[in-house]
Amino acid sequence: MIQSIDRAAKVLNLLQGARHLGISDLAAAMELPPSTVHGIVKALQAHKLVAQERIGNRYVLGPALVKLSSVYLDTLDVRARAIRWMHDLSRETGFASRLGVELFGDVLVIHHDGRPDGSEQMPETGASIPSHASAIGKVLLAFNSEHADDVFANPLRELTGYTITDAQELADDFMSVRKNLIAYENEEAVIGESSIAAPVCDSTGDVVAAVAIVIPSNETPVDEATLTRLIETARNISRDLGTPSWPPTPN
């Protein structure tokens, strides 16, 4: 592992968590001399991966990340295929839909299609949610034991009073996810919001993503037709990607 690149990435991660940091904040957090951190930050700044605040001398993440991220999203086959099916899903069910993948134990939302009712929509793409508190996460974990082990390695953080923090309870949940191809989450991450997710497979047959619909809690439970429609959407995306087997097998 190249030391300075590793340190540069750590700088980006720290800025991701803290938004605005000075050189000495970073130096303290990384336990390095300020001059060393300064060199790293200046190298990142030259590529606009970080930027200096206009007033004050703290540093923030830079605009180049937006372009990189946008190109990443465009290269993702799953996303390209999912967009059409998700739009149909949202239009027909009336619920917002999300597509998520795993990132360092959390769920990263890589596409979002809003409710068709024209309400003001916050862009949710890029948001990340702890896996154990999201329907998408439960699907990804239930079908990938490697990711699941990572999550079980640490205590499950409580986000709301309904978050599942007991490992055994979560593991039991996975059994039914594998059996029914559906994961539920009821106000486990955000009060007032529930979600339901289904697995998406790529051409290797592995579960690489999950689609979900997001439901205001006062509209739960949803009818059987909506559930069928969600699984259908997941299967359509998977088929587009050339999955060799459906339903998917746990890995």
Partner DNA sequence: AATTGCATTCGACAATGTCGAATGAACCCC
Partner DNA sequence: GGGGTTCATTCGACATTGTCGAATGCAATT
Footprint on this chain of DNA (rule: CB under 7 A): 2-7, 22-25, 27, 32-36, 38-42, 52, 56-58
Candidates 24, 145, 180, 203; binder of its own copies (CB under 8 A) is 203
Structure tokens at 74: 């465009």
Given its phi and psi angles, is residue 126 left (phi above 0), alpha (psi -120 to 50 degrees) or beta? left
CB of 239 to its own copies, least distance (A): 17
CB of 104 to its own copies, least distance (A): 7
| Whether 73 contacts 125, CB under 8 Å | yes
| Whether 206 contacts 146, CB under 8 Å | no
Q: How many residues bind its own copies (CB under 8 A)?
A: 59
CB of 216 to its own copies, least distance (A): 20
Q: Does 202 bind its own copies (CB under 8 A)?
A: yes
Given the complex with DNA, which of 8 and 108 has the nearer CB atom?
A: 8
CB of 4 to its own copies, least distance (A): 5
Question: In the 3-class helix/strand/coil scheme, how is the chain assigned residue by residue?
Answer: CCHHHHHHHHHHHHHHHHCCECHHHHHHHHCCCHHHHHHHHHHHHHCCCEEECCCCCCEEECCHHHHHHHHHHHHCHHHHHHHHHHHHHHHHHCCEEEEEEEECCEEEEEEEECCCCCCCCCCCCCCEEEHHHCHHHHHHHHCCHHHHHHHHCCCCCCCCCCCCCCHHHHHHHHHHHHHHCCEEEECCCCCCEEEEEEEEECCCCCEEEEEEEEEEHHHCCCCHHHHHHHHHHHHHHHHHCCCCCCCCCCC
CB of 20 to its own copies, least distance (A): 7
Candidates 55, 146, 192, 224; binder of its own copies (CB under 8 A) is 55
Given the complex with its own copies, which of 65 and 222 has the nearer CB atom?
A: 65
Site string for its own copies, 70-89 (x = CB under 8 A): xxxxxx-----------x--
Name which of DNA, its own copies, none residue 202 binds, using a CB cut-off of 5 to 8 Å depending on partner kind: its own copies
CB of 27 to DNA, least distance (A): 7
Given the complex with DNA, which of 56 and 155 has the nearer CB atom?
A: 56
- CA pair distance 115, 52, nearest whole angstrom: 37
- CA pair distance 153, 68, nearest whole angstrom: 32
Name which of its own copies, DNA, none residue 103 binds, using a CB cut-off of 5 to 8 Å depending on partner kind: its own copies
Would you tell me which residues interact with its own copies (CB under 8 A)?
A: 1-2, 4-6, 8-9, 12-13, 15-16, 19-20, 39-40, 42-44, 46-49, 54-55, 60-75, 87, 101, 103-104, 108, 110, 116, 118, 120, 123, 125-128, 202-204, 206, 208
